[in-house]
Amino acid sequence: MGDSHLLFGHTIGMQQRYVMDKDYQRLPGEGRKKKSIFGFSRLYLGKDHLLCVYNSAYTEDYRRFYFKDIQSIVIGINKTRERFSARFAGAALFLLLFAFWRGGYWAVFFMILACLFLLNALINWRFGPTCTCRISTAASREELPSLGRLKNAMQVIEVLKPLIAESQGRLSPEEIRTKASALKDRSSQLP
Amino acid sequence: MKSPSIDCPKCALPLEWQSFNTPDMTRCPSCATPLRVEIFPAFFGDPPASEAAGSLAVDNESGCYFHPQKKAIIPCALCGRFICSLCDIELSGQHVCPSCFETGQKKHKIETLENHRVLYDDIALALSIIPMIFIWPTIATAPASIYLSIRHWKSPTSIIPRTKVRFFVAIFLSLFQITGWVILISYLATL
């Protein structure tokens, strides 16, 4: 990561270089918000904030996370990939058995369908582990649906870290230890 | 006031500082979920100092427009009124007064305050494409699509920069449909 570049005036690594001539730069990842059928969510990098766009077909909702306000980002690996792949593979197996049992032209139809399900399972597996990514500020704690894959979440965190550090500064491990224990003491003293 | 804590996304139990800002994934001590936790100085941020109240203005200093007894620290970027630290609202590097902030919010003049937008170009495009499946509705939807495209040509669409191509396509398709209807009606009239 020796080569560096300027992003909105911030020095960033070569691997974090994005298109430079826009107000917002798209970050990797796309996901669906929970309980929504249509629409998707994407992340964009602004000059001083991270923009989360929830698109629901004909409207867009925005959430802004200013670099100076971001308190933490937590990524936790979950079992969504395994669960979905197992479901697709199970459906493929069921269709394959059905095809053998049925025979004739229907067998070809069911085998094609089984192949599609199997392909879906393989693609899902190939995209890598899934995760939950949560961003916290003093006022809110929000899950980022677009960062459902670990690979994307890690990539985005690497982009955000230097930008947040530029606006807030960095924490050394020693500082984290002392401040965390001070915070713990303070909270234990609260009634 | 509850002190901030970082919880595991799976079991929701608070995490210990040892798992913060580590280069590799760590595990939640209670549920063993692989995690990555990045915390930033804002997490330990102290509550804002009382300097927000602003200092009192002395004779040769200009006072705030809204609080004449307070010392003005900056002029509003939109109206130029002198404002004190109490009235100063920072928006994307600009300092505005509460009055301009309110006006900007009401009239959608400040982009960073907008959390919702209607995508008229997407609606116009959908109106020109989807009814083509059923053919008959296009007699009403094609003019509606043209009306929407012209009416909202200059309306703000997504915050993420996008071109007018959707409007162009919607108008082109709608004109095509209207031409078809005119030809059909004139042909039926000649019969």
pLDDT tens profile A118-141: 999 999 999 999 999 999 998 888
Extended beta strands in A67-168, E state = 72-77, 131-136, 141-143
Q: Where are the domains of chain B?
A: 1-39, 49-107, 120-190
- Same domain flag for A103 and A42: no
Judging contacts by C-beta atoms under 8 Å, the chain B residues touching residue A157 are 36, 38
Q: So what's the pLDDT on residue A8? A: 47
Residue contact A71–B92, C-beta within 8 A: no
Mutate to test the interface with A, among B120, B160, B163, B166 (most CBs of A within 10 A): B160
- What is the ipTM metric for this complex? 0.78
- Same domain flag for A146 and A73: yes
Establish if A190 belongs to a structural domain.
no
Residue contact A74–B36, C-beta within 8 A: yes
Judging contacts by C-beta atoms under 8 Å, the chain B residues touching residue A51 are 159
Q: So what's the pLDDT on residue A191? A: 61
Angle CA A138–B45–B112, to nearest 5: 45
Q: So what's the pLDDT on residue B49? A: 47
Is the pTM above the cut of 0.95? Answer: no
Domain span at residue A144? 4-78+130-169
Coil, helix or strand for A184? helix
The closest alpha carbon to B37, from A46, A169, A71, A151, belongs to A71
- Same domain flag for A92 and A18: no
Establish if A182 belongs to a structural domain.
no
* Whether the predicted pLDDT of A157 surpasses 90: yes
Please report which helix (H) or strand (E) contains residue B143, including its range. helix B138-151
Residues of B with CB under 8 A from a CB of A: 1-10, 16-17, 20-21, 25, 28, 33-45, 92-93, 112, 114-119, 122-123, 126, 158-161
- Same domain flag for A122 and A138: no
Q: So what's the pLDDT on residue A60? A: 92
- Same domain flag for A9 and A63: yes
Q: So what's the pLDDT on residue B53? A: 55
- Same domain flag for A111 and A139: no
Mutate to test the interface with A, among B7, B36, B127 (most CBs of A within 10 A): B36
Percentage of residues of chain A with pLDDT beyond 90 = 51
- Same domain flag for A143 and A158: yes
- Same domain flag for A39 and A58: yes
- Same domain flag for A45 and A85: no
Q: So what's the pLDDT on residue B126? A: 95
* Whether the predicted pLDDT of B57 surpasses 90: no
- Single-letter residue type at A166: E
The answer to whether the Cα torsion of A40, A41, A45, A51 is positive or negative is positive
- Same domain flag for A92 and A145: no
Overall number of domains in chain A: 2
Q: What are the residue ranges of helices labelled H in chain A? A: 80-102, 104-126, 150-168, 173-189
Q: Which residue of B has its CA nearest to A45?
A: B160
CA distance B44 to chain A (A): 7
If pLDDT is split at 50, 70 and 90, which confidence band does A19 have? very low
Establish if A183 belongs to a structural domain.
no
Query: Directed axis angle between helix B165-190 and helix B138-151, to 10°?
Result: 140
pLDDT in tens, B104-127: 877 777 777 788 899 999 999 999
CATH number for A59: 2.30.29.30
- Single-letter residue type at A114: A
Q: So what's the pLDDT on residue B2? A: 54
Judging contacts by C-beta atoms under 8 Å, the chain B residues touching residue A132 are 9-10
Establish if A189 belongs to a structural domain.
no
Residue contact B3–A71, C-beta within 8 A: no
The β-bridge partners of A74 are A134, B37
State how far the Cα of B131 lies from the Cα of B90, in Å rounded to an integer: 47
- Same domain flag for A117 and A99: yes
Q: Decide which of 3.10.28, 3.40.50, 2.10.110, 3.40.1000 is the CATH code for B49-107.
A: 2.10.110
Establish if A178 belongs to a structural domain.
no
Q: Which residue of A has its CA nearest to B3?
A: A187
The β-bridge partners of B82 are B75
Give the tokens for residue A97: 């058995």
- Same domain flag for A69 and A85: no
Q: So what's the pLDDT on residue B54? A: 58
Q: So what's the pLDDT on residue B18? A: 80
* Whether the predicted pLDDT of A185 surpasses 90: no
Establish if A187 belongs to a structural domain.
no
CA distance B33 to chain A (A): 7
* Whether the predicted pLDDT of A6 surpasses 60: no
pLDDT in tens, A35-68: 777 789 999 998 888 999 999 888 999 999 999 8
DSSP-derived secondary structure letter, A66: E
For A187, what's the count of Cα atoms within 13 Å in the CB-facing half-sphere? Answer: 13
B12 vs A77, which has greater pLDDT?
A77
pLDDT in tens, B138-160: 999 999 999 999 999 998 888 88
